Chains A and B, each alone.
Chain A
Amino acid sequence: MTRKELGVFLLLVALCAIVAIASPQFLSVTNVQNVARLVGTYGIFSIGVGFVIITGGIDLSIGSICALLGVLLSMMLVEWRWPAAVALAAVIALGAGLGAAHGLLVARLRLQPFIVTLCGLLLYRGAARYIAEDSTKGFGTGQGFEWVRALAAGSVGGVPMPFVLMCVVAGLAWVLLHRSVFGRHLFAIGHNAEAARYSGVNTRAVITWAYMLSGILAAFSAIVIAFYTNSISPASHGNFYELYAIAAAVVGGCSLRGGEGSVLGIVMGAALLQVLRNLVNLLDIPGSLDFAVMGAVILVGAAADRLFGRRVRDGNA
């Protein structure tokens, strides 16, 4: 583990210990399962956004993609009666297409990632509401696609499926990011895109792929989330998810300037956020404060990292 990963890990362990002591319920099987389910769900798209952040970009469109694809998934399965496998493939392909479009706009047209994906955030939210006519969608009795529900929202041996899926995704992402040529190119571009280009790296293709992966993983978690909530109100479904993703990546050691970050860090970052939400729940803090608690803890953590980090550097000097 790198120093940053170790820092997040210690923070996570400390936080879990505090909550566990304050509320024995934290370690109950149901609660652990619940938290794991959420960590899995949020972890999947956070990893995707992490790829983009490592190139020095940003992806703000995640929440709206979840809403749009959730609405479409429900309509494909329930209203249009598409075969489940086709519907899943279509949703993933759509996610990939939207991500690729972001990537091409950033890499080819040189638009700023913030603007491209902010427009995505607005566009897809609007599209979701329009397509659903602002009415809540769901999956009814789920006849004909029980296996999809089991895959997305079930559990194996007591472990919730979203968590299992996230572990698989994280494993693949780890290999891709930390062991592949593509991953090295991502870091190189994040640190110094010009030098990477001068070294013969196909920077446009690599950047486009990063956004596309983010879109694919957003689609993937859109499926999981849709079955988890089981009802999709297009105006609020997936709200703020992009910020959870960015927070998870940053807490996990990604630099918004690009070039830094790790899959393990992002996953722990996502876990940290969910433990914090759980803490608000269990410790009888008013639910309206949960964002405030998250913001405060992240801020304190970032400040501590700065102060502590500086002490370590000076100590060596």
Chain B
Amino acid sequence: MSAVSKQFPGVTALDRVDFHVAAGEIVGLVGENGAGKSTLMKILGGIHRADSGTIALDGVPVGLHGPADAGRLGIGIIHQELEVVETVDVAGNVFLGREPHWAGPLHLLDRRRMETDTERQLARIGAQISPRTIVRRLSTAQKQFVAIARALSMNARLLVLDEPTASLGSTEAERLFAVLQDLRSSGTAIVYISHRLKEIEALADRAAVLRDGRNAGVLHRGEITRDRLVQLMVGRAIQGAPRQAVGTGAREARLRVDRVRTQRYPLAEVSLTVDGGEVLGVAGLIGAGRSELAEAICGVAGLVSGRVLLDGQPLALDSPRDGVRAGICLVPEDRRGRGIIAAMTVRDNLTLPALGSYARFGLVNRSAETSAAEDAATALTVKASSIEAPVATLSGGNQQKVVLGKWLALQPRVLIFDEPTQGVDVGAKAEIHRLIRRLADEGAAVVMISSEIEEIVAESDRVAVMHEGRITGILDRSSSTPESIMQLAIA
């Protein structure tokens, strides 16, 4: 791809970007959110059309007028927003749009071929999913496997993966890397987009960095380090949030989870406490029951048994509303589905839970509401053209700030973050970490679930590690290292 440019209303998404990848090469494509990575790949996939510039495959210029063109040319793309059809089974998704069929006028589906082939592709990435499972029943990580299997089954010559590990645990991610390395040695060209710079470091032969829609630099294998990548991405050095010493003064146990059993793991009991002012990291592999625990604590899902106590008082939790009223707020993992209301404005999202406090007799005082939303947006450094802009137009990191921001006005006593920085760029990530710490400093008890071990280690005061619904260990600051956490998580 050379000198590719693309304009969107109000912004130049890409400005004369050059990008190339050779057969048998893995190129890491990195950049902050909004740097233009996804746009570039959408052009490659035929979803957007470039305003100018050329795209050549094996040296021959090609015209990409739609996703079908890309497929025919052997370009397979796994998008960040998983494109799976929830109501169709796994095999149906893998072969969607190119279903094998028997000869004859009826084009009857060749189910057997679909299923055996799907099984083979899933086995390659070590995913144990039946091809007949309806996709809706799968976890996010499993859906990710389905999307990967789909791309693999196309025998793509050029494979693009946009944040493929965003919802995968470490073990699953490593299996994926092995598959990618296999594909590389068999001559596939691979473009790998990720915010997890460690992965780029480990995997990429070359790393291309985009910044504000322009080429910002290329690093070759050996030169790729986290620090150099970050420097190119942001054009400035990022300061990590300084780790503060944790006060050891007597603090009340703000949140106590007492022998709670969730519907996912009805046999496993979980007990833990979180103090006000403390950040408890919750680590574990995908499917360890962390999100289920979080949802039980804030009332989204019912408990099978056990109690949740806030400042010593047992809570009756039947709905998220009960949790919110008690002061327990959740920043959910599924940002688009449960966190934001994408079509509504930044203001409407920020003030939704506390709207009643800007109202009199049920009527909203619009100036009070607007100034509260403006304050929150400023405090959180939400980057939006205005608070009247729909949240859908914001980058992932800024959307996440909005989800967090809507709780601030309620002054929550317990805040639960489920994968708070998933799909969030480096700059926004550091800001979100600072906000989490600030909320704890202001006295909230914070629970932070994350699949990124570095994040858990860096941001938590204590770490609880879960495995198959149980807590397998609680580590304090001095003993929490990636190695000790992984040990407990695999247990």
Q: Interface on A for B, CB 8 Å cutoff?
A: 175, 179-182, 184-185, 187-188, 191-192, 194-202, 259, 316-317
Contacts and interface: CB of A to CB of B under 8 A. Distances in A.
Contact of B341 (A181, A191, A200, A316): A191
Given A188-B344, A201-B321, A317-B8, A195 B353 contact: no
A195 B399 CA distance: 13
A316 B406 contact: no
Would you call the interface of chain B mostly helix, strand, loop, or mixed?
A: mixed
Contacts of B320: 197-200
Interface in B111-167: none
B359 A195 contact: no
A180 B362 contact: yes
B339 A198 contact: yes
B362 A181 contact: yes
Contact of B353 (A192, A200, A259, A316): A200
A192 B349 CA distance: 11
Contacts of A184: 348, 352, 355, 364
Given A187-B344, A317-B7, A192 B364 contact: no
Interface of B: 7-9, 300, 319-321, 323-325, 330, 332, 337-344, 348, 352-353, 355-356, 359, 362-364, 366, 406
Nearest to B299: A200
A194 B359 contact: no
A196 B352 contact: yes
Nearest to B352: A199
Contacts of A198: 300, 320, 330, 332, 338-339
11 contacts: A179-B364, A180-B364, A181-B364, A184-B355, A191-B341, A198-B339, A200-B320, A200-B324, A200-B325, A202-B319, A316-B9
Contacts of B359: 180-181
Q: Is the interface of A mostly helix, strand, loop or mixed?
A: helix
B339 A181 contact: no
A176 B141 CA distance: 42
Nearest to B357: A181
Given A184-B348, A196-B352, A201-B352, 6 more contacts: A180-B363, A181-B362, A181-B364, A184-B352, A199-B353, A200-B320
Contacts of A200: 320-321, 323-325, 353
A184 B356 CA distance: 11
Nearest to B359: A181
A185 B349 CA distance: 11
A290 B476 CA distance: 77
A87 to B, nearest CB: 30
A198 B300 CA distance: 7
Given A184-B348, A188-B352, A200-B325, A179 B363 contact: yes
Nearest to B7: A317
A54 to B, nearest CB: 12
A180 B319 CA distance: 23
B81 to A, nearest CB: 15
A70 to B, nearest CB: 32
Contacts of B342: 191-192
A200 B362 CA distance: 16
A200 B326 CA distance: 11
A185 B359 CA distance: 13
A316 B356 CA distance: 37
A46 to B, nearest CB: 23
B338 A194 contact: yes
Contacts of A201: 321, 352-353
A182 B356 CA distance: 9
Given A198-B332, A200-B353, A192 B7 contact: no
Contacts of B355: 181, 184-185
A197 B324 CA distance: 10
Which 4 pairs of residues, A with B, have the shortest CB-CB distance?
A200-B324, A192-B341, A316-B9, A199-B353
A195 B7 contact: no
A35 to B, nearest CB: 33
Given A196-B352, A198-B330, A317-B9, A259 B343 contact: yes
A175 B340 CA distance: 25
Contact of A195 (B325, B340, B356): B340
A109 to B, nearest CB: 16
A180 B352 CA distance: 12
A121 B353 CA distance: 36
A182 B364 CA distance: 10
B337 A195 contact: yes
B370 to A, nearest CB: 13
Nearest to A316: B9
A181 B363 CA distance: 6
Nearest to A314: B9
Contacts of B337: 192, 194-195
Contact of B321 (A191, A202, A317): A202
A182 to B, nearest CB: 6
A194 B355 CA distance: 18
Contact of B406 (A182, A192, A199, A202): A199
A186 to B, nearest CB: 12
Contacts of B8: 317
B84 to A, nearest CB: 18
Contacts of B338: 194-195, 198
A61 B250 CA distance: 62
- Count chain B CB atoms within 10 A of each CB in A191, A196, A200 and give the residue with the most: A200
Contacts of B348: 184, 187-188
A3 to B, nearest CB: 14
Contact of A181 (B7, B332, B356): B356
A316 to B, nearest CB: 4
B329 to A, nearest CB: 8
Contacts of A196: 341, 352
- The residue among A180, A192, A196, A201 with the most chain B CB atoms within 10 A of its own CB is A192
Contacts of A179: 363-364, 366
A188 B352 CA distance: 8
Q: Which of B332, B348, B362 has the most CB of A within 10 A?
A: B362
A290 to B, nearest CB: 36
B402 to A, nearest CB: 11
B354 to A, nearest CB: 9
B403 to A, nearest CB: 9
